[in-house]
Amino acid sequence: MPRQSSDASTSTRAADETLEDYTLRFAPRGYRRWSPPVVATTALGGIAYLADFSIGAGIGLTHGTSNALLAITVAALIIFTTGVPISYYCARYNIDLDLVTRGSGFGYYGSVLTSVIFGSFTFIFFATEGAIMAQGLRVGLGIPLWLGYLITTLLVVPLVVYGMSALSKLQVWTTPVWLLLMVAPMAYLVLSDPESLGEWLAFAGRDGSGGVSVAAVLLGAGVALSLMAQIGEQVDYLRFMPPKTRENSRRWWISVIAAGPGWVVLGALKQATGAFLAFFVLGMAGSAATEPVEQFLGVYGLFLPGWLAVALAVVLVVVSQIKINVTNAYSGSLTWTNSMARLTRRYPGRNVFVFGNLAVALVLREANMFAFLNSVLSFYANTAIAWVVTVASDIVLNKYLLRLSPRVPEYRRGMLHPINPVGVVSFSAASVISIAMYFGALGPVLQPYSPIAAVLLALALPPLVASVTKGRFYLRRTDDGISEPRFDSTGTPVATSYRCHVCEQDFERPDVLACPRHEDVVCSLCATTDRTGTHLLPPQSSAPCRERDRVIAGR
């Protein structure tokens, strides 16, 4: 079969999927060899970060304990609720959040907007976590911060390069150590000094009067809601879940809920713990009370010799940061590669963006971003909320309740319209209005409500815009030209293998389309990098939503 040399060479660079980890596409059944508990453990290993302790400490010291606990709870409820449909979709159809976003209201190119948001999340938190690790190295080994920043950046490179294969081993083996080092000192503190809990609960904060304030709660929730984009990193692992069957249904659901939206339960507990530890060590650490290494050093020092307290605090920080920063670097490399491949129609390889993401994070650390972390997160939260809630709204309301959007997700070039106003308009309006509120453009009274405004707008606008446009901009085609259905009678992706005539690699049924110029098939990556449109099927007239669902389920 004739091939375009540029497409062939591009796809050859992506042939080793052990390295590239199915960056731009469906994760095939033949690669998903891990059990649900192993996938869940790997995903949960990515939330070992200590930034939660800093975030909780900042909220608690500023607004007081009562306001901090309410803020953390509000944020956790919102994050959990929006995370359920997204986690289910990614695990059920074995695609990441960017691919889900394409078919959930944004379109093939429109989702690049949200890829930038998520990519920014990964290097912001890589920088934050690396700064925490560098603080630990400075306390334990006397390494200057600038050198610690460099060490923490380079340390994750060999671990990230090999994707899920290496990360699953790392997360499974380090989780018990991490849990022991984090939980043991907390248990000792609570049991040995129970009065400190009462004193902490009565703490009014630097800016508080001791009572509950709606403004303080919402301001604190805005900081905690910046972590909403963490669901994107969780589902980067959940896409490797095995098929859901009658035999594994219970374990499958427990794993998806625990490692998907369930991450925020542990996250909220860590934030509350950070607020407690900051209060406890405030007299000893002063302005450094928001630094996790100082928090745990203060607790370890209660029952261990000084040298051992320092050693264990450093070990905890190092293990935690390695666990989360391999996830940040991994997910960041996926999303930046995804965006650039669509915009340039070239596939540079995931590992190019591993180094790019690390370089940006290193610059942010050297600029001392940790010093104004809460301000950065408060601003960023508005865009993260707008994205995640828009996608969740489209899945729950447009796909299932109102049937305004095709229920089965589509992500392949040629099957989607370039831009879908449902997601793009909803996300943009929610982001712009909430950011304007955050900066006080709509008045000081409304300023604390910016995160709630982002939630409500992103929830309400997708069904409104979808109703106005009658769902016409979701699908460019309903038929991918291949007679075999993409899904079996249970809705599980079909595992039949097809050979792409461009790159001559084998791909499973959900990842291929018919080629209009040749009586053969083309994979989704070759369709992505097709710079002439040779392999793209022509558009079809739109069909009513229920008819689209019927056709897509069969095709």
**Cα 382 to Cα 359: distance, rounded to the nearest angstrom:** 25
The residue that leads in pLDDT, 2 or 114, is 114
Give the containing element (helix H, strand E) for 372: none
Model pTM?
A: 0.82
Pick the closest to residue 170 from 337, 323, 3, 390 (CA basis): 323
User: Rounded to an integer, what is the distance from CA 322 to the centroid of its chain?
Assistant: 17
Across 267-275, average pLDDT:
91
Please report how many Cα atoms fall inside a 13 Å half-sphere around the Cα of residue 173, on the Cβ side. 6
pLDDT of 3 strictly over 50: no
Q: Where are the alpha helices (DSSP H) in 23-111?
A: 36-45, 51-63, 65-93, 97-101
Q: Which residue has the tokens 């070239």?
A: 346
Residue 22 falls in which region: left (phi positive, over 0), alpha (psi -120 to 50) or beta: left
Residues 6+ apart with CB under 8 A from 217: 63, 67, 70, 71, 74
Please report how many Cα atoms fall inside a 13 Å half-sphere around the Cα of residue 214, on the Cβ side. 6
Pick the closest to residue 224 from 434, 120, 81, 75 (CA basis): 75
Q: How many C-beta neighbours within 10 Å does residue 16 have?
A: 10
Residue 499, SS3?
strand
Delimit the domains of the chain by residue range: 31-375, 480-539
**512 — phi, psi (to 5°)?**
-130, 160
pLDDT tens-digit profile of 301-337?
888 888 888 888 888 877 777 767 776 677 777 777 7
**Cα 493 to Cα 414: distance, rounded to the nearest angstrom:** 20
**Cα 370 to Cα 301: distance, rounded to the nearest angstrom:** 25
First to last CA, the chain: 25
Across 390-409, average pLDDT:
94
* pLDDT (0 to 100) of residue 167: 54
**Cα 469 to Cα 333: distance, rounded to the nearest angstrom:** 34
Give the containing element (helix H, strand E) for 505: none
**Cα 233 to Cα 261: distance, rounded to the nearest angstrom:** 11
Pick the closest to residue 38 from 258, 320, 330 (CA basis): 258
* pLDDT (0 to 100) of residue 133: 77
Which DSSP letter does residue 218 get? Answer: H
Q: What is the CA radius of gyration of the chain?
A: 24
Handedness of CA 343, 348, 349, 354 (dihedral sign): negative
Q: Are 208 and 64 in contact (CB under 8 A)?
A: yes
Six-digit token string for 84? 């359920």
Q: Are 341 and 529 in contact (CB under 8 A)?
A: yes
Handedness of CA 196, 202, 208, 213 (dihedral sign): positive
Give the containing element (helix H, strand E) for 309: helix 306-344
pLDDT tens-digit profile of 339-362?
777 777 777 666 666 676 677 767
pLDDT of 544 strictly over 80: no
- Span 31-375: which CATH code? 1.10.4160.10
pLDDT tens-digit profile of 157-183?
666 555 555 555 666 666 777 778 778
Using pLDDT thresholds of 50, 70 and 90, give the confidence band for residue 459.
very high
What percent of the chain shows pLDDT beyond 90?
28
pLDDT of 288 strictly over 80: no
* pLDDT (0 to 100) of residue 526: 87
Which of 87-91, 110-114, 171-175, 374-378 is most confident?
Answer: 87-91
